[in-house]
A and B are shown apart, each in its own frame.
Chain A
């Protein structure tokens, strides 16, 4: 949270811009190598989205954003919550089952369902936290395992609770939520027939809270300190096991929200067609956005843009839309490398600057004793 200087802004922007350029070049080379029409692909991918597509991009980005924030909470204290995927599916399933019962009217139903989702996502992540704190199990391993378990658990339970009231017995949905709880959406984009998810507001609130809690509170300071140096945090009085549990529960709680915009704005039930893999996109987007609430917003929009624009590839350029996965992968690789290089350069430049300014302060003394030998 250092003050912004021109150098810092430049370094911050250099990473993603470089990554995008590298992705552009590598993807072009791949296209050339397999003989696909490079020009057509880019003109299709880079064409201006229609209003309808813009709505889709914003919607997808809001979901990505929640997922990435969930991952970023862990990242800030060196916890790798790979389990956002499992957490959001357990959570959205539980919320869908509850909301489908229509025990509560309208918006109240939505609110309670969201709370249930937070709770379930948090508890599911809590298993990994408990294993880490009590048994020393790496959260990377346990959350990956829990993803697999979540998949099995949810599809098994889906079989138990699936809606049999409708047409035939082939339905694999939870019961659809009552009409009064369906959120109509916000007409933010002029000229689009579809609407932006109402629960994009949830993403905004979560983003604000993430910034506020981490940057402005004692709890956030402890969390960041633990991430920067666990040994120093312990010596400063931070109870690291407690921080691990808190951070995991928070991360899982936010992960629980990932499916909410989809559930209440589009699908209205949980079923086998519910969008999968959002948790993994979240990891990529958190990395790309450098765990920064604004950076993640841009990264989520970029990710959503690429996915949306890939839909037209087959028709316009006769190239499989999976090409976008290559682009995303290369961006990620490049960005991780670029960030590490930039981080090191930043440290070096800072040391050099401090030494230089100290030397200047001393006046004529040459620069030979700034740091150490």
Chain B
């Protein structure tokens, strides 16, 4: 099953084996769900070993097991040929396994040195010895990190290298990188891959978790595919192409977002004029944002997370007061309206973090169906809740939008991410919206749900809705949008035509590489919010 075919660079084989990590028969069950089943693969020392799979395929659970956060119910883990029993992350570190999280765990107001030694003060102290060690690691692996720089001054790519350094500092020989490119723009991704090549040259092993196939193919020496919690195959990247890999991953035809003929009309449904929001640091979070969305138009906003997307949505939805600027719904100035008035007026809202902003996880589905529309038919009659009406309509949504649930009285938290999202989309579409504000609508949902959510967005567009689509998935943006604009440091770029633009063009606009001279990628997303934990991602039904 495990055809290890990596082009192996010579690595020290101290323990008599060149396998850094071996997993055999790893199985992890959660109540009613098998998250991992019989996971088996081995990573050779001095290689980049990629683990690919859909969101929800079981990658995160596997990584948690490898990092000692969760214990497998069955199976063995071997490090350097020795079976290990990982009870906690400190066991994992002791075994030489380090984890670089997708969401950085750095204190902005501390220096690199302080961040690195935090929790590892016993290794090299907190002073010059530690500083020298950081310099040494940085030089050895080409990380280019100054130990005395404040983390808040660092860009995203740089912060990630600090995270990697943190792990190396603690003596890790095997690094797990969980979706490391999710927060990076294409240019930064290339830099990261250079770093990874440096690491493996020095004999370290990198486990690289991703679902971005092009990246995996370009950097990995060996690729293990996971589907529905189990290892499907381990392949050599030189023998497969992205298409084949994707089919291994999904096990079926790939859905792809693609718009049909344009449905854009000349009727303006949402207009934003010169929106500005001052940040706490004095730098504007939103800076003179203006755009217009017509009926039947999808306006896609691309950007590295933390460049003002979240704030833009909050201002439009009335959850935050802008410093200046106006928002019009049709011809009506809604700038001063509160959230409820805006929603009642026909602005549907799919928040970026559905568990925090769109659901009451401990309430039944039918009460969740009311959320955001608790003043509207069929949920209420006057001041009273119309439970019968809400329940009947929830049944309808469950049926029409294919929400997989045994009943409408189960709690929202017990559904999977994709089904939660379908319920949310169904709810928002059920109140004849004129505008739909959708932030990362397919984040963390499975392929099937992703395809149906894309279909729903297309249908909304056909019905004459104006859609503001904010996404980090460039493919999704290119496939669904009629117009794409890029947001960088709170400012909107010009318009891109999705039929012609490439990911590289967008990537350049996202870092500002086009507008400034100097090394591209080093200045992406300097905003504090860039490293904020958004709590979304792979987590599905758990809370």
Contact = CB atoms under 8 A, between A and B. Distances in A.
A232 B367 contact: no
A196 B477 CA distance: 70
Given A351-B413, A370-B32, A373-B36, A217 B384 contact: yes
A25 to B, nearest CB: 30
A372 B416 contact: yes
B362 interface: yes
Contacts of B358: 232, 235
B228 A372 contact: no
Contacts of A316: none
Given A229-B356, A235-B358, A347-B414, A373 B404 contact: no
A143 to B, nearest CB: 26
Contacts of A21: none
Nearest to B408: A3
Nearest to B356: A231
B543 interface: yes
B405 A358 contact: yes
Contacts of B410: 2, 350, 353-354
A218 B380 contact: yes
Contact of B37 (A234, A235, A350, A368): A368
Contact of A229 (B317, B319, B360, B373): B360
A357 B62 CA distance: 25
Contacts of B374: 218, 221-222, 225, 236-237
A219 interface: yes
A234 B404 CA distance: 27
Contacts of B37: 368
B540 A216 contact: no
Interface stretch (B118-126, B194-202, B336-344): B336-344
A373 B61 contact: yes
Interface in B314-369: 317, 319, 338-344, 349, 351, 356-364, 367
Contacts of B426: none
Contact of A217 (B31, B357, B383): B383
A371 B371 contact: no
B166 to A, nearest CB: 26
A351 B317 CA distance: 32
Contacts of B340: 236-239
**Interface bracket on B:** 35 or more
Nearest to B446: A369
Interface in B279-332: 317, 319
B74 to A, nearest CB: 14
Contacts of A112: none
Contacts of B539: 372
Contact of B59 (A221, A225, A373): A373
B60 A231 contact: no
Given A347-B411, A351-B413, A355-B32, A368 B228 contact: yes
B167 interface: no
A228 interface: yes
B85 interface: no
B57 interface: yes
Nearest to B411: A350
A356 interface: yes
A351 B31 contact: yes
Contacts of B415: 354, 371
Contacts of B416: 369-372
Contact of A351 (B62, B343, B363, B414): B414
Contacts of A353: 32, 406, 410, 414
A370 B33 CA distance: 6
B509 to A, nearest CB: 29
Contacts of A372: 33, 35, 56, 416-417, 538-542
A353 B31 CA distance: 9
Contacts of A3: 409
B436 to A, nearest CB: 15
B540 A371 contact: yes
A219 B409 CA distance: 21
A73 B341 CA distance: 27
A215 B341 CA distance: 23
A194 B478 CA distance: 80
Interface string B26-50: 0000111111110000000000000
Interface string A357-371: 111010000111111
A356 B32 contact: yes
B468 to A, nearest CB: 15
Interface in B407-449: 409-411, 413-417, 446
Contact of B357 (A232, A238, A355): A232
A363 to B, nearest CB: 13
Interface string B381-400: 00111010000000000000
A322 to B, nearest CB: 38
A348 B357 CA distance: 22
B58 interface: yes
Given A351-B413, A373-B538, A232 B371 contact: yes
Interface in A238-289: 238-239
A347 B31 CA distance: 10
A220 to B, nearest CB: 8
A367 to B, nearest CB: 6
B375 interface: yes
Given A232-B357, A371-B541, A354 B405 contact: yes
B172 interface: no
Interface string B510-543: 0000000000000000000000000000111111
A229 B338 CA distance: 19
B68 interface: no
A33 interface: no
A351 to B, nearest CB: 4
A153 interface: no
Contacts of A238: 340
B96 interface: no
Contact of A228 (B363, B404, B446): B363
Contacts of B171: none
Contacts of B370: 221
Contacts of B411: 2, 347, 350
A373 B414 contact: no
B81 to A, nearest CB: 28
18 contacts: A2-B409, A2-B410, A218-B375, A220-B385, A221-B374, A234-B319, A235-B349, A236-B371, A237-B341, A351-B33, A352-B33, A353-B32, A367-B32, A371-B30, A372-B56, A372-B539, A373-B59, A373-B229
Interface of A: 1-3, 215-222, 224-225, 228-229, 231-232, 234-239, 347-359, 361, 366-373
Lowest 9 CB-CB distances: which A-B pairs, in order?
A: A372-B540, A237-B340, A352-B32, A371-B541, A373-B58, A352-B31, A355-B32, A357-B406, A236-B372
Given A216-B385, A232-B357, 7 more contacts: A225-B371, A228-B361, A231-B357, A347-B362, A368-B230, A372-B417, A372-B538
